Amino acid sequence: MNVTDSTLRPIDPIAEPPWETIAAIPIVDEGGALHPVSLAAPMLRTLPLYHALGVPGAVPECWAREAVYRRLLEVARHLPDGLGLVVLDAWRPYVVQRHLYDTLLEMVETRYADLDESDRRAMTRAFVSPPSERVDRPSPHLTGGAVDVALCDADGLLLDMGSAFDEARAASHTVHFEHHAGDADTRTYRDRRRILYHAMVDAGFANLPSEWWHYSYGDQMWAWYRGESCALFGPSGPDSLEARWRRSLGQDA
């Protein structure tokens, strides 16, 4: 693995997202279909983890907007030798978002029953956004602009990043090992996160600071972190046979 000094530059502190401000950012949806990321193989690897784990409603493909798809390829092409990019999740159906949020919230409420409800919901939101199909404030993954990614080795095996994907603990925060790298293992986690972070941000993505794996392009969170006046993507979904029939019948009418 050839790693340059610039690739391993530290990750600067990332501001916590002001969700109400973010939700007020206007969306000027430029349209565009979702594309199956698996088409980019072997340059990109996909592992639709929620489907593999049996989450109700999860789909067996990672779908993303074209601008996201192309930027992921850019990231994969610029990773150091011996490293690959794995997409774990991208577009996410509402029913999956609902299941993830409700399940984690229930666990947080049980574990932290002594906290105020607002605090428990804030803890949950750090790792799972509240489900929303609203045109003006959709859940990030519903837009096709948010992706969950990880690094793998040359054989496709996922690399240890210091916490597992979707692990709801402090070690999952992107900059955690910038401050807790006291031995060889933790320095390795820190460096791998640096490689992933800078590759993604340099390609135009924005990172959710509580999740080293979550990046977005074109959604409202991306717009806030990147200083854009509007978001590019609203709610979306893969095309369906029924939708194609409806369009063709409408055109024939």
* From 74, 109, 178, 211, active-site residue: 211
User: How far is the C-alpha of 162 from the C-alpha of 183, rounded, in Å?
Assistant: 12
Answer whether residue 9 is part of any domain.
Answer: no
Q: Collapsing DSSP states into helix, strand and coil, what is residue 94?
A: helix
Answer whether residue 8 is part of any domain.
Answer: no
Total number of domains constituting the chain? 1
The whole-number pLDDT of residue 193 equals 98
Contact indicator for 85, 72 with CB cutoff of 8 Å: yes
Answer whether residue 16 is part of any domain.
Answer: no
Answer whether residue 43 is part of any domain.
Answer: yes
210-222 tens-digit pLDDT: 999 999 999 999 9
Q: Is the pLDDT of residue 6 over 60?
A: no
Answer whether residue 220 is part of any domain.
Answer: yes
**For 28-32, 47-51, 175-179, which range has the lowest pLDDT when averaged over its residues?**
28-32
pLDDT band at 239 (very low <50, low <70, confident <90, very high): confident
Q: Considering the chain, what percentage of its residues have pLDDT values greater than 90?
A: 83
Beta strands in the chain (DSSP E): 34-36, 45-46, 63-65, 83-89, 146-153, 206-207, 214-216
Answer whether residue 125 is part of any domain.
Answer: yes
- How many other β-carbons are positioned within 10 Å of the β-carbon of residue 167? 15
The whole-number pLDDT of residue 243 equals 77
Contact indicator for 140, 211 with CB cutoff of 8 Å: no
CATH number at residue 235: 3.30.1380.10
Q: Is 214 annotated as a binding residue?
A: yes
The whole-number pLDDT of residue 8 equals 82
Answer whether residue 14 is part of any domain.
Answer: no
Contact indicator for 71, 141 with CB cutoff of 8 Å: no
Contact indicator for 147, 208 with CB cutoff of 8 Å: no
**What would the two tokens of residue 12 be?**
């600067």
Q: Is the pLDDT of residue 252 over 60?
A: no
- 129 φ/ψ angles, rounded to the nearest 5 degrees: -70, 145
160-209 tens-digit pLDDT: 999 999 998 999 999 999 999 999 999 999 999 999 999 999 999 999 99
pLDDT band at 251 (very low <50, low <70, confident <90, very high): low
For 20, 46, 53, 58, 124, the CA distances from 49, given in Å and listed in that order, are 29, 9, 6, 9, 20
Residue-averaged pLDDT of the chain: 93
Parent domain of 155: 26-252
Q: Is 141 annotated as a binding residue?
A: yes
Sorted by sequence, the CB contacts under 8 Å of residue 108 that are 6+ apart come out as 120, 123, 124
Answer whether residue 3 is part of any domain.
Answer: no
The whole-number pLDDT of residue 7 equals 67
Residue 211 annotated in active site: yes
pLDDT band at 253 (very low <50, low <70, confident <90, very high): very low
User: How far is the C-alpha of 29 from the C-alpha of 206, rounded, in Å?
Assistant: 18
Would you give the end-to-end CA distance of the chain in angstroms? 59
CA 2 and chain centroid, separation? 26
For 134, 159, 236, the CA distances from 68, given in Å and listed in that order, are 21, 23, 14
77-132 tens-digit pLDDT: 999 999 999 999 999 999 999 999 999 999 999 999 998 998 999 889 888 899 99
